[in-house]
Amino acid sequence: MNPPAPCSAMNTTSLQPFSILVVEDHPAVRSMLVGMLRTAGAQHIWEADNSQKGLALFEAHRPDLVLLDVILPDGSGLDVVKTMREIESSSQQQTWTPILFLSSLNDEQAIWQGIEAGGDDYLTKPVTPTILAAKLRAMQRLLVMRKQLTDVSQALQDANEKLIHLVEIDALTGLVNRRGFDRILELELRACLRDKQPLSLVLIDIDFFKRYNDACGHLEGDLVLKQASHLLRSVCLRPRDVAARYGGEEFALILPNTPKAGAMTLTRGLTRVFQQYPQPHPNSDVAPHITLSGGIVTIDPNKTPVDERLDYLILQADVALYAAKKRGRNRFVHSDDA
């Protein structure tokens, strides 16, 4: 049997660009490892001689691989790897870095403790060039497979978001449809209860819309719906504000972190917007142009107990909307005043 090829003959130029953090307190051992890693094709190498430096370099550079001594002058490598895994879990990217322990201890207990602490493999010192190069290849294969899985997962997530967009967008107006409205309102209600922040919901009707359709035709009616949708969207200035087509000529606004006063101010502004861009209505009893009636409900977990049922929240807004119509239309009424 032929002896293993020396490291110089195993120059792993086929490796992808690879960055490595070496945490080893012994200068001679660290220097030897760095030399072998460069020969094996590592592109970037950072060196640390204690746990604090190692953690700082890990957090700053997020290497592709870590070689970590089990025994360090300022602590245990087992504690260091636990901290590294905590850093990864708190990251938005949710990355995973292969960590190989370095130790002169060649026993099963040491290997078990290292893997349990969060390590991925174990190298016994002195490390040979052949074994080190083989480990690099193995770890890089794991990284490549993980990246492929991450890419597939991201592609599936993107496709799912596109599907949700297609399913939850109203074709005529471009607003969120009833299905999307139900989903978003449920999410915002949960957030309201969790974060102890107010949530306001507004249900809106176009006044005497059936009369408009009868007088002007459904094509003109569709144009009114589109214009109303555009104006409703224009008042949703914050990222989480949502304008939705609830059904027919009915619309809704979901306003997270909005108290009663804020919702009332917004709806007064909405009324002024419709006055500034009037669409003539030939058969309205309240104005010569298109007008809106709306019902507002606000829940504030800091003030009163909250009924967590969506249908109850919608019912309260609907009762307020009915009150707005009964009082002459072209106005918004809060459920507290209905």
Q: Which residue has the tokens 């260091």?
A: 80
Q: Is 249 a catalytic residue?
A: yes
| CA dist., res. 6 & res. 129, Å (int) | 7
Give the residues across from 123 on adjacent strands. 102
Buried b (16+ CB within 10 A) or exposed e, 99-118: bbbbbeeeeeebbebbeebb
CA distance 37 to 78: 23
306, with CB counted inside 10 A (0-12, 13-18, 19+), is middle
Amino acid, res. 122 = Y
Q: How far is CA 100 from CA 250, 264, 318, in A?
A: 61, 61, 62
Helix, coil or strand: residue 62 = coil
Task: Report the C-alpha gap between 69 and 82 in whole angstroms.
Answer: 14
Cα-based torsion angle of the residue sequence 325, 327, 328, 333 in order, rounded to the nearest 10 degrees:
-60
Greatest distance between any 2 Cα atoms in the chain: 100
Catalytic residue among 24, 168, 188, 249: 249
Q: Is omega for the bond preceding 98 within 30 degrees of 0, making it cis?
A: no
Other CB atoms within a 10 A radius of the CB of residue 335 amount to 21
Could you tell me which residues are beta bridge partners of residue 99? 66
Contact 260, 334 (CB under 8 A): yes
Q: What are the catalytic residues?
A: 249
